[in-house]
């Protein structure tokens, strides 16, 4: 208790009733939450009566360890954890598995039922489509999977969806597939990830089941409450309905997951749900400099859907933010690499440096620069040339050039789906194409004609034109355009590949395609290595929950950050403010210093376009900005363009 500030103490000492803890970035929310759990036990609460839920296994494990340590070292308790028992600390999905297994018989499931991951679910969706006569070429399985997942996340079952979808052609198709999909799950005695929450909710809506868990868990804690969806919200409120001892912790300003169902109103309306709730605001930041927090506060104030709070710190004022305008994305990436190299030379550990970007495709040019200048780095997430859609394009080109490349043919023969399954592929490999069913044989003939067309265009066209041709003619472009957020991201990556291919367009005709394929193959092979010590490169989304001494926020251009969706989907007012929340998250990752950068010209889909600086840069007062000088373009090395060194 002595190590807590006044706001933290207020939260820890509130032992009953609803409690809303609005915790700013770096304000010690995990410490506050775990201290409150220990304090409950100190004041007589049974550890087994305490439930704490967070969003990741890592966060749950960390919280569990902190609670154990708190019980073990507490001056009042002074007893081993084993003698006191443990609170139930887990993720929402783990909680669901626990409750479902205890009530499996009522759902017609064995105790150890199967759990479908996303890949399993997609395969089952495809099987279901075929069973009800829906052509995967006409209706994308991934899109149908996303629609079903979204409905389950909203707490909607198939019968409820059927009523709302009646009279809607696509809706009725989804209903047919969904019903068959549920039959497949039942046949396999399985649940998908969405079911782990939805089935738990259905169980808790039964009086006897709910009363049992309400009698066990009398103190409910929910971390990252701003990230809960409708089903998670209802589960939490059902469990807390009797005792009303619900403590939720979150930061409205860090709600950045609306695209996967997170509902901002859950935390905004907590006081409406619980009028007697106590509200504690944690505003003292222990992470960042005063300058960084001043900028963060100014940026987020423009959002309307939030609770007012202002982060402050007792840390030093610190350095101003640096701003660099690159001539293009290459000079921008070289600025980032050279600054990183300077920091490392001055004694900064590479692990204490992070490079953040808004869209996945931006990683490619950054990776090339780090490789070219031999600065150690690690990409948090999938590397550019390891992404499935990039490998698919490369396989199409290689298969066109060498029709006997079995591995490439295997990869793409049914990507996108053409109705050529594993059995048919084996017959093709064995040279038994005449034994294929007529429809499958026709599909295979069309596929070989496609490879022939690609082969012909490789003889006369530039690499960037070849990539564009493959994107369109293979059907990948059309598939991704109709595959929601995931498809949009994949399509952006393909378009970035076109931009990369432009670099090889001006090379000699007889070597340009070969050099591109060779460079891609080398980078893919080399990138497979594990780099434990290096500058971290990641999307802003991936950086949430992390912190670094030095943070680069790149690509601060209009339509890139803030990001403009390729698809014309309507967004709510809350969702429209999400880009600003995302920038706020990026800023608050830094402890000591932030570098902002953007490109005057960026190559998008193979075309060089003039970029306009992001509105976020304009929002930062000049007194907090220092302009970086130096023409880093002079440091550019030919090997970045011609052949990357690995």
The torsion angles phi and psi of 465, rounded to 5 degrees, stand at -70, -35
- β-pair type (114-116, 190-192): parallel
Six-digit token pair at 110? 């064995």
Is residue 472 annotated as part of the catalytic site, yes or no? no
- The DSSP code sequence of 295-326 is HHHHHHTT-SSS-----B-SS---PPEEEEEE
Q: From the candidates 68, 192, 224, 557, give the one annotated as an active-site residue.
A: 224
Q: From the candidates 9, 14, 30, 120, give the one annotated as an active-site residue.
A: 30
User: What's the rounded Cα separation, in Å, for the pair 392 and 491?
Assistant: 12
Q: From the candidates 589, 591, 593, 602, give the one annotated as an active-site residue.
A: 589
Is residue 111 annotated as part of the catalytic site, yes or no? no
Contact, 523 vs 644, CB < 8 A? yes
Q: Is 182 helix (H, G, I), strand (E, B) or coil?
A: helix
Is residue 224 annotated as part of the catalytic site, yes or no? yes
Is residue 302 annotated as part of the catalytic site, yes or no? no
Q: From the candidates 68, 192, 195, 223, give the one annotated as an active-site residue.
A: 223
Q: From the candidates 175, 254, 289, 440, give the one annotated as an active-site residue.
A: 254
Q: What is the DSSP letter of 244?
A: -
Contact, 21 vs 29, CB < 8 A? yes
User: What's the rounded Cα separation, in Å, for the pair 636 and 9?
Assistant: 54
Contact, 399 vs 405, CB < 8 A? yes
Q: From the candidates 8, 29, 334, 392, give the one annotated as an active-site residue.
A: 29
Is residue 30 annotated as part of the catalytic site, yes or no? yes
Sheet containing 278-282, strands listed edge to edge, beginning at the edge strand earlier in sequence:
88-91, 50-54, 219-222, 246-250, 19-23, 278-282
Q: What is the DSSP letter of 119?
A: H
- Report, in this order, helix, strand and coil percent for the chain, each rounded to 5: 55, 15, 30
User: What's the rounded Cα separation, in Å, for the pair 516 and 531?
Assistant: 25
Task: Give which of 462, 472, 500, 480 is closest to 604, Cα–Cα.
Answer: 500
Q: Judge residue 61's burial from the number of C-beta atoms within 10 Å of its C-beta, 0-12 exposed, 13-18 middle, 19 or more buried.
A: middle
Annotate 121-174 with three-state secondary structure: HHHHHHHHHHHCCCCCCCCCHHHHHHHHHHHHHCCCCHHHHHHHHCCCHHHHHH
Six-digit token pair at 161? 């969806």
User: What's the rounded Cα separation, in Å, for the pair 61 and 65?
Assistant: 6
User: What's the rounded Cα separation, in Å, for the pair 147 and 336?
Assistant: 40
Contact, 125 vs 183, CB < 8 A? no
Q: What is the DSSP letter of 565?
A: P
The residue whose two tokens read 């409708």 is 230
**Can you name the residues that pair with 537 across neighbouring β-strands?**
355, 379
User: What's the rounded Cα separation, in Å, for the pair 281 and 293?
Assistant: 16
Q: Is 420 helix (H, G, I), strand (E, B) or coil?
A: coil
User: What's the rounded Cα separation, in Å, for the pair 33 and 500?
Assistant: 47
Catalytic residues: 29-30, 223-224, 254, 589
């Amino acid at each position: 208790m002595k190590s807590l500030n006044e706001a933290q103490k207020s939260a820890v000492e509130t032992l009953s009733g609803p409690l809303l803890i609005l915790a700013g970035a770096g304000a010690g929310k995990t410490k506050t939450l775990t201290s409150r759990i220990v304090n409950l036990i100190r004041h007589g609460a049974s550890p087994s009566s305490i439930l704490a839920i967070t969003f990741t296994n890592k966060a749950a494990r960390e919280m569990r360890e902190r609670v154990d340590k708190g019980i073990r070292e507490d001056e009042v308790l002074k007893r081993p954890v084993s003698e006191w028992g443990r609170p139930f600390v887990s993720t929402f999905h783990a909680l669901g598995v626990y409750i479902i297994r205890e009530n499996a018989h009522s759902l017609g499931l064995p105790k150890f039922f199967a759990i479908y991951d996303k890949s399993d679910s997609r395969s089952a969706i495809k099987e279901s489509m075929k069973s009800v006569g829906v052509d995967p070429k006409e209706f994308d399985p991934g899109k149908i999977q996303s629609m079903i997942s979204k409905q389950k996340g909203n707490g909607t079952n198939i019968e409820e969806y059927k009523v709302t979808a009646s009279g809607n052609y696509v809706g009725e198709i989804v209903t047919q597939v969904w019903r068959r999909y549920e039959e497949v799950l039942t046949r396999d005695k399985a649940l998908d990830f969405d079911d782990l929450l939805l089935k738990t909710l259905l169980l808790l809506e039964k009086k006897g089941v709910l009363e049992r868990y309400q009698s066990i868990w009398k103190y409910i804690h929910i971390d990252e409450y701003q990230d809960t969806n409708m089903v998670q919200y209802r589960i939490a409120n059902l469990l807390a309905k009797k005792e009303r001892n619900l403590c939720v912790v979150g930061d409205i300003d860090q709600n950045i997951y609306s695209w996967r169902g997170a509902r901002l109103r859950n935390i905004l309306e907590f006081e409406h749900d619980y009028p007697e709730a106590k509200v504690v605001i944690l505003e003292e930041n222990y992470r960042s400099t005063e300058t960084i927090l001043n900028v963060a506060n100014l940026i987020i104030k423009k959002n309307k859907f939030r609770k007012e709070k202002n982060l402050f710190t007792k840390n030093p004022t610190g350095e101003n933010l640096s701003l660099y305008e690159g001539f293009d994305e290459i000079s921008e990436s070289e600025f980032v690499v050279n600054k990183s190299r300077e920091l490392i030379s001055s004694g900064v550990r590479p692990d204490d440096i992070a490079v953040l970007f808004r869209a996945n495709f931006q990683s490619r040019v950054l990776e090339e620069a780090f490789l070219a200048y031999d600065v150690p780095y690690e990409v948090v997430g999938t590397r550019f040339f390891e992404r499935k859609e990039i490998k698919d394009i490369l396989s199409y080109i290689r298969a066109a050039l060498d029709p006997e490349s079995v591995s490439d043919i295997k990869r793409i023969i049914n990507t996108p789906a053409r109705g050529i399954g594993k059995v048919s592929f084996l017959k093709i490999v064995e040279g038994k194409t005449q034994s294929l069913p007529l429809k499958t044989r026709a599909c295979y003939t069309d596929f070989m004609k496609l490879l022939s067309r690609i082969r012909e265009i490789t003889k006369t066209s530039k690499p960037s034109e070849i990539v564009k041709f493959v994107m369109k003619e293979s059907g990948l472009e059309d598939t991704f355009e109709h595959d929601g957020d995931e498809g949009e991201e994949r399509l952006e990556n393909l378009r970035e590949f076109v931009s990369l291919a432009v670099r090889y367009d001006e090379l000699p005709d007889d070597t340009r395609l070969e050099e591109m394929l060779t460079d891609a193959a080398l980078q893919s092979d080399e990138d497979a290595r594990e780099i434990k010590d290096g500058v971290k490169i990641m999307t802003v989304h991936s950086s949430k929950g992390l912190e670094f001494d030095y943070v680069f926020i790149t690509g601060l251009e209009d339509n890139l950050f803030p990001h403009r969706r390729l698809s014309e989907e309507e967004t709510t007012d809350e969702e429209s403010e999400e880009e600003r929340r995302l920038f706020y998250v990026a800023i608050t990752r830094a402890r000591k210093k932030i570098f902002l950068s953007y490109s005057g010209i960026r190559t998008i889909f193979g075309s060089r376009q003039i970029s306009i600086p992001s509105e976020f840069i304009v929002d930062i007062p000049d007194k907090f900005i220092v302009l970086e000088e130096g023409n880093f373009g002079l440091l550019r090395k030919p090997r970045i363009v011609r052949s990357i060194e690995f």
